[in-house]
A and B are shown apart, each in its own frame.
Chain A
Amino acid sequence: MGIIKLTIDNKEVIVPEGTTILEASKSVGIKIPTLCFMKLDELHYENSPGSCRICVVEIAGNKKLMPSCKTLCAEGMVVRTHNPRVLNARRTIMELILSNHPFECLTCRKNGQCELQNVASELGIREIRYPGEKSTFSPDVSPAIVRDLDKCIMCRRCETMCNSVQSVGAISAINRGFNSIISTGFGEDIELGNCTYCGQCVAICPVGALGGKSSVDQVLDVLADSSKVVVAQTAPAVRTALGKAFGMESDQVVTGKMVSALRAIGFNYVFDTDFAADLTIMEEGTELLGRLTNLIEGKADARIPLMTSCCPGWVNFVEQNYPELIENLSTAKSPQQMMGAVIKNYFAKKLNRPRKDIVVVSLMPCLAKKYECMREDMSDEGDPDVNYVLYTRELVRLIRFTNVDFQSLPESDFDSPLGESTGAGTIFGATGGVMEAVVRTAYSIYTGKPAPKIDFQELRGFEGIKKATIDFDGVQIKLGIAHGLGNARKLAESILNGTSDFHAVEVMACPGGCIGGGGQPFHHGDMSVIKKRAAALYDADQQKSLRKSHENPSVQKLYADFLGTPCGPVSHKLLHTHYTNRRKIVGVYPVYHESTKENGAICLSASTIETLKTICGKFNNDPKELINILHAVQELVGYLPKEVQEIVAEQLRIPLSKVYGVVTFYSFFTMAPKGKYPISVCLGTACYVRGAEKVLDEFKNLLKIKVGETTADGLFSLDCLRCVGACGFSPVVLVGKKVYVRMTPEKVRDVLNDFYSL
C-alpha cells in the first residue's frame, strides 16, 4: 500500500493509497459537506453515486470540479475545497435541489433532523435564484412506511439499501431526467408489492421523503381516555437508543428513565418486552428440541432448520419469496405479540377488566411491527393483542410532549408481573442475541446440565452471516445467523439447495439487528452509533444476575399459574401463529383465445405467455440481456403492459421495479398500445430547421390528437423521434417502417391517405 502526499486547502496531507479526497480532508479536520454519500463499512453498505455534486472540489489541472467522495487522492494533487468557484458551484447546486423541493420545513416530519436542512443552513442559502417547476407525486401510506416523494432528492440511498443490501428491490429508479424518482414498479403503493417493511430505507433517507407510519395521535387519544387501561411494553433495542436522543451517551442503557418517562406520558402500566423475550425462548427452545428429537429419530418432516420468527420483516420476506420455507419458521409469535396476548388474556383477568378495555402499546425500534400487530392471527374477535406500535422516534416525541427533562428523570422499575427479565431477553436486540438466548436455555433443557459458558462470543458481531457449531454435550448443533435480508437470502438459498446443514437459523432483517431498526433515532451514517447500542445491550446482560430465560421467576410463575407447559395447549393457542404463502405468482392468467382487455387489465393468452418465456429463455434469462429481451417482447405484443413486465421480471429473477425502471428510461419502450400505423415525426435539428415542427402541427391538426396519443379508431398514433439519421432528406416522417422524406405540411394529407386507402 503506497503512501500519497497531497495538498488540501494549503494543508499537506499524507494518506494511504486508495483514500478519497473526502476521507483525506476529514483526516486534517476539513469536513466537506455531503448529501448522497453514505458508507456503513461493517454493514457492507456503500452509497456513493457521486450524483448530488455537493461535495465537489477543485483539483488543479482538472477542467471540471470533481466529487470528493469518489475521487481518489493522487500524489501531488492540489485540492481546493472552498475557493469562490467551488463555493459558488456548491451553493448553486443546493439552490437547484431546493428549487425542486417542497418548502414545508416547519411542518415536515424531518424538521430539525434533516440532512438537507443542515447543508442548506451551513451554506447560508437565503434565496433560490432559479425557481421553477417542482416534480410532484401522490403520497403513499402503507401500514408501516409512508412515502412523500415530493421531498426526494434522488440521493439513491434507499435504492442501494433495498437492492444491494436487502436484496428485495421493492423500489428502484424509474422514469428519466427531471421526472426520475425512486419508486415501485408502476409507481404503485408499496403495500401492493414485495416490500417487507424492514424500514431500512427510512433509516437512511436524508430527508422527509420516507418515514414511518405515525400512531402518535391515536395513542394520545387513548391515553386521554379514562375508560381505558393503557399498557406499554418496551423492546430491548429502545432502551439502548433512547438516551442519545436526549443528549446522553449512546453506550448507556436508560431503562429506568425510560420507564419513568412512560409513566409521565400517562401509561397505566409499563411492562418489559424482554420478559416476553424470555417467554419466547421457552416456547421456541422447546419447539427446537422437539424438532431436533424428530430429526434424531429419523422422522420425516422434522422441519429442520428451525428459523426464528420474531422479526416481522423476515417473516414477510419468507412468505413472499420463500414460501417453501414456511414450514421451517418457528410457530412462536414474536415477543411483542406474545406479550400482547398475555396482557389481554392473563393480565386482563387479573385486573378483572374485559380485554377491549385494555390498550396495549408497544415501543419498538421497528416499523414492520406496525404491520405485524395487524396480522389476522394477532387478534381475538376483532380486538388486537397489540393495539398500537410506536417506534423509538415516536416515543422520543411523546417524551418531549411531557416537557420533562429526560436526563433528570429518576430510575423506575417495570410493573409486575410482566416486568422481570433475564440478560438473555435483553440481548434480543442485537444480531445473534436471539440465538445466544436460545442456546443458553436449550442446552440446559436438552442436556439437563447448565451450559459450560453463558457468553457465546462466536454468536456475536457484525459479520453478515455467522456460522457456529455448539457442542450440546456430544451432539453438534449447527447454527446460522444472518442480519440484513441480503444475507438472509443467501442463507435461505443454501437451505433450499442443500448446501448448508443448519439446525437453527436466526434472521434479523435489519443490518445490525433490531438496534439498527427503521424506527430508531437516525444514525446519519455513523456506524459507531449502532455498534455502541449493541455493546450496551451485551453490557446490560452482563450486569444482570439472571442471564438465562428459563431462570426467570416471573416466566416460571406465568406457566405455573396460567400457561401450563411450553408448547402446551394454552401456549399453542395464545403464543403461536401460522403463516401464509404470499408469493405473487405471475403468468397465471385466465386463458383466452386472443389477447383481450378487461377492466383495463390485459389478459395474455396462454400461448403468448409461453412465447414470452421462450424469448427470455433464448437469452438464457440473463438480466444483462434485459434490453434485447424487451425489444423482442415489444415486437411480439406491441407494447409492454404490466403483465408482460411481470413475466419478464419473474423469468429473469429481477425485481419488477428494476424492469419498470428500464422500460421507463428508454424512449423506445411503450406501455400503451400504438396505433396500427404509428407515426414518428423526426424532430432532430436538421429536420427542425427545415420545418419539421410545422409538419408535426399538421399531423396534430388532421388527426386531432396530441403527441403520445392514438386516434380513437386505433389507426394512428403520433410520436416524436430524435433523429433517424436521414438528415440529408429532412424533414423525415416514419409511419410504421415506411419512411417519408422531404416532408411538408401540404404532403401530410397524402401520407395519411396512403394508409386510409389500405
Chain B
Amino acid sequence: MKKIQTPADLQQLYESLRKLMRIRETDPYSEENSAFTSPKEIQNKSILLVCGRGGCKASQSDMLIEKLQSAIRKEGLEEQIQVILTGCFGFCAQGPIVKVVPDNTFYVQVKPEDADELIHTHFVKKMYMERLLYLDADRNQVIRNPEQMSFYKPQMRIALRNCGMINPESIDEYIARNGYAALAKVLTQSTPEEVIHEIIESGLRGRGGGGFPTGLKWQITRKAVKSPKYVVCNADEGDPGAFMDRSILEGDPHSIIEAMAINGYCTGAAKGLVYIRAEYPMAVEGLRIAISQATEYGLLGKNIMGTDFSFDIDIKYGAGAFVCGEETALIHSMEGKRGEATVKPPFPSEEGYLGFPTNVNNVETFANIPTIILKGAEWYNKIGTEKSKGTKVFALAGKINNVGLIEVPMGITLREIIYGIGGGIKNGKKFKAIQTGGPSGGCLTEKHLDLPIEYDTLQAAGSMMGSGGMIVMDEDDCMVAMAQFYLGFTVEESCGKCSPCRIGNKRLFEILNKITSGKGTEEDLRKLRDLGQVIKDTSLCGLGQTSPNPVLSTLDNFYDEYVAHVTEQRCPAHQCRDLTVYYINPKKCTGCTLCAHVCPVHAIVGERKATHIIDPNICIRCGSCLEKCRFGAIYVY
C-alpha cells in the first residue's frame, strides 16, 4: 500500500511532520511556522544536530553520537533532548560539529569524550561550554551562533539547504522540509514544457563544470525523437579536492531523487540512473536507502501520486576512473565498457545510453531544481550575476584556515571567499594562488582577488569554475610542482584513446619533470606552451581539452618561477627536491646532533658540539632536520 497516493496525501503528511523541523529552523516562531506552532510544543525541547558524514564520521562522530545519547540518558533528559545525525555543515575545519537548536549554539571540534561534559554544562548547568565554542581568531572572540560567523554569514544555502538540518536517512524529515512538494506541483500543475521554461528562465547552468544551460539541455532531450529516454545523475565527482556532490548525496539524497523524477517528467524518461563513484560507499548506501524509502512511499515507481508518470532509479558504480566524469565516458562505463569518451556531436541528449536520448546532469545541478520549482525562476534569477545565476557550492581546501564546504551566490569575489569566509591563509603565510576547477582549471592570483566568481570571468582569466573545488596555495607551494602534480594526475587518468591526450600530456609531464629536477631549458618553456595549446585544440574530450590549463595558467601567472627553475636551477618555494639544498650554517650550529638523529637517511655527519654537515647527495629534502633544529641553523636554498 503506497503511503502517498495523491499530492493531497503528501500535503497532509507534510503538515503532520512540520513539528520535526520547527525547532531546527532559524525562527520557530516565524509566521511561516505560526500556523503549526504552539510555543508550548517546543518549550524545553532541544535537538542536537551532529554531522555524521564524511570527514566528521572519520573523526569518530558515530562514537560521539553514542556518547551524547548515553550522557542524555544518564541525566534523565531523553524527553527533552534528541540527537539527530545529519549531513555536512560545511565547516569541516572545525569538525566534528554539534549544533544545538533552537538556541543555535554551534559547538566545534567536539570529541566523544566531551559528550558528558557538554550535556551536563549546556542542559543541566544551563551554561554554554566555552572551550567548545568557535573562537574567531581575528576578533579574538567566541561566537556561539553560526549566523554570526564570518564563515557562514555570506553563505546562501540552496543546494545545501537540508545538509546539517535533516537526518538524511529519514524521508519524513525530507518531506517535513517541503520535500517532494516540487514533484507534486510539477506533476499536477504544469506541463513538461512549462517546467522546462521555468528552468530556462531561472538561468541555472550545469554545476559539474561545463556550465551548459540546464533548461536548454532538458529541452533538447525532450525534443529528441528516439525512445526510451534516460535521466542520468553524474555523481562521479572525480576532481581531487572536490567534495560538494558527496556532501549533497550523503546529506540530502532525496533532493536528487526528487529532481531526477522532475527531470524524467520533463524529458519523457521513465528511468533514472545514478552513476556514482566507487570511492563513495557511504553515499551509495545512503542513496540506496533513500531510493527504497521513496519507492515505499510511492514517490518512485508506477503512477506517482496518482498520475500517469512512472519513474525508477538504478545505481551504477564507477570503478576508479576520473575520465568517467565526462558524460560520454560515463555512459560507456554504464554500458559495462571501458570509460572511453566518444566524439560529440552526436550529444547524449540525442544519442546517449545504449544509443537513446540521455540527459546527464550533475548532482549539484539537480539539488537546485526542487527549490527553483517551489520558489520560482524569478526568485532564483535575482541571485547571482547576469550570466551566472544562483549559488555555487565550493569546496575550500588547502592552505586556508576555514577548510570546508560553502555555498555562495555567484558574483562573490575571491577576496571575500579567501579572507572573509575562509578566514585567511593558515599559519599566517602569504597567499599565492588559488586553483579552481581541479585538473581542468587554472590558478588565480592576487591580481584576481577582486574578480567576481562566475563561469565566464573565470574562463576569461585562464581558469574555469569546474565542479567547485578551490585549493588555496601559499608561499611555500611551488607552482611548477603544482602543474606537475596535475599533469601527473591527468596522465594517469587519461583514457588513452586520442593521440594528443594520450601522448601529448605524457610529454607535457615529462617536460615538467625535467624542469623540476633541474634539467629544464628555456626552450622547454616554449614547448610547454605550444604543445599545451595543441592539446587543448585537438583532444577528443573535455579531459584532454582542459588538461593543459594548469600548465598554461601557471606559465602565465608565475613565469618567473619557471624561469628560476630552468635558468638558475632554483625553486623559489623550496619545494622541488632536486633544486633545493639544505645547508647548516656553521655560525649557528651548536653540534647538538638532534638533526643527525632525526635524519631518516643519515645524511648529516658531525661530532658532538661540532658543526654538522649535510651531504647533499644523500639528503632527500624531507625537512625533518629543519623542523627539529632549535637554533635556526638549517637553511634551505
Contact = CB atoms under 8 A, between A and B. Distances in A.
Interface stretch (B179-187, B201-209, B503-511): B503-511
Interface string A168-192: 0000010111111000000000000
B384 to A, nearest CB: 24
B338 A662 contact: yes
Contacts of B492: 177, 722
Given A93-B500, A668-B319, A727 B395 contact: yes
A451 B340 CA distance: 55
B337 interface: yes
Interface string A713-729: 00000000111111111
B87 to A, nearest CB: 13
A686 B503 contact: no
A17 to B, nearest CB: 14
Contacts of B345: 71-72
Interface residues of A, number: 77
Given A53-B498, A65-B537, A728 B336 contact: no
Contact of A64 (B320, B336, B472, B538): B538
Contacts of A739: 55, 57-58
Contacts of A694: 622-623
A727 B241 CA distance: 6
Interface in A524-581: none
Interface stretch (B73-81, B397-405, B580-588): B397-405
Given A92-B534, A627-B336, A666-B320, A178 B494 contact: yes
A176 B491 CA distance: 10
Interface in A42-81: 49-54, 56, 64-65, 67, 70-72
Contacts of A51: 497-499, 540
A499 to B, nearest CB: 25
Interface string B391-425: 00001011100011100000000000000000000
A180 B502 CA distance: 9
B558 interface: no
A78 to B, nearest CB: 17
A96 interface: yes
A728 B403 contact: yes
Contact of B496 (A65, A70, A175): A175
Contacts of B498: 50-53
B499 A97 contact: yes
A89 interface: yes
Contacts of A99: 503, 507
A688 interface: yes
Contacts of A52: 498-499
A110 to B, nearest CB: 19
Given A178-B506, A180-B502, A685-B438, A729 B58 contact: yes
B133 to A, nearest CB: 19
Which of B238, B239, B343, B438 counts the most A-chain CB atoms under 10 A from its CB? B343
B321 A667 contact: yes
Nearest to B489: A722
Given A72-B345, A668-B320, A723 B279 contact: yes
Contacts of A701: 600
Interface string B532-557: 00101111100001000000000000
Contact of B58 (A50, A689, A740): A740
Contact of B55 (A130, A625, A726): A726
B243 interface: yes
Contacts, number: 254
A625 B600 CA distance: 48
A686 B240 contact: yes
Interface string B467-487: 001011100010000000110
Nearest to A634: B319
Nearest to A622: B336
B418 to A, nearest CB: 14
A291 interface: no
A684 B241 contact: yes
Contacts of A665: 321, 338-339, 495
Interface in A681-713: 683-690, 694, 697, 701
A696 to B, nearest CB: 12
Contact of A50 (B93, B95, B471, B540): B540
B569 interface: no
Contacts of B354: 624
Contacts of B489: 722
Given A64-B537, A624-B336, A727-B403, A92 B493 contact: no
Contacts of A50: 342-343, 498, 540
A96 B500 contact: yes
B264 interface: no
Contacts of B272: none
A725 B92 CA distance: 12
A726 to B, nearest CB: 4
B18 interface: no
Contact of A728 (B399, B404, B496): B404
B240 A685 contact: yes
Contacts of B503: 96-97, 99-100, 178
Nearest to B624: A745
Contacts of A92: 500, 504, 530-531, 534
Contact of B333 (A93, A133, A627, A725): A627
Interface in A317-375: none
Nearest to A156: B497
Contacts of B497: 49, 51, 154, 180
Contact of A725 (B246, B499, B527): B246
Contact of B493 (A153, A175, A177, A627): A177
> Most B CB atoms within 10 A — which of A56, A92, A739?
A92
A175 B492 CA distance: 11
A130 B494 contact: no
Given A51-B540, A53-B538, A665-B321, A178 B496 contact: yes
B310 interface: no
B54 interface: yes
A50 B345 CA distance: 11
B59 A729 contact: yes
Contact of A721 (B57, B95, B279, B399): B279
A276 to B, nearest CB: 45
B495 A177 contact: yes
Contacts of B128: none
Nearest to B88: A728
Contacts of A65: 537-538
Contact of B319 (A129, A130, A132, A666): A666
Contacts of B309: none
Contacts of B29: none
Contacts of B473: 689
A685 B485 contact: yes
Contacts of B342: 49-50
Contacts of B95: 728-729
A79 to B, nearest CB: 15
B242 interface: yes
B529 interface: no
A732 interface: yes
Contact of B499 (A96, A628, A667, A732): A96
B356 interface: no
A97 B502 CA distance: 10
Identify the interface centre among B246, B497, B511, B536: most chain A CB within 10 Å of its CB.
Answer: B497
25 contacts: A50-B343, A64-B539, A71-B345, A72-B345, A85-B537, A89-B538, A93-B534, A99-B507, A154-B499, A173-B338, A173-B496, A177-B496, A622-B336, A627-B333, A627-B336, A631-B319, A662-B337, A665-B321, A666-B318, A668-B320, A685-B240, A725-B279, A726-B243, A727-B241, A732-B58
Q: Top 8 closest A-B pairs, CB basis?
A: A728-B92, A684-B240, A667-B320, A180-B496, A729-B55, A686-B397, A666-B319, A739-B58
Given A52-B498, A624-B334, A728-B54, 8 more contacts: A56-B537, A97-B499, A130-B527, A130-B531, A662-B338, A668-B319, A725-B54, A728-B92
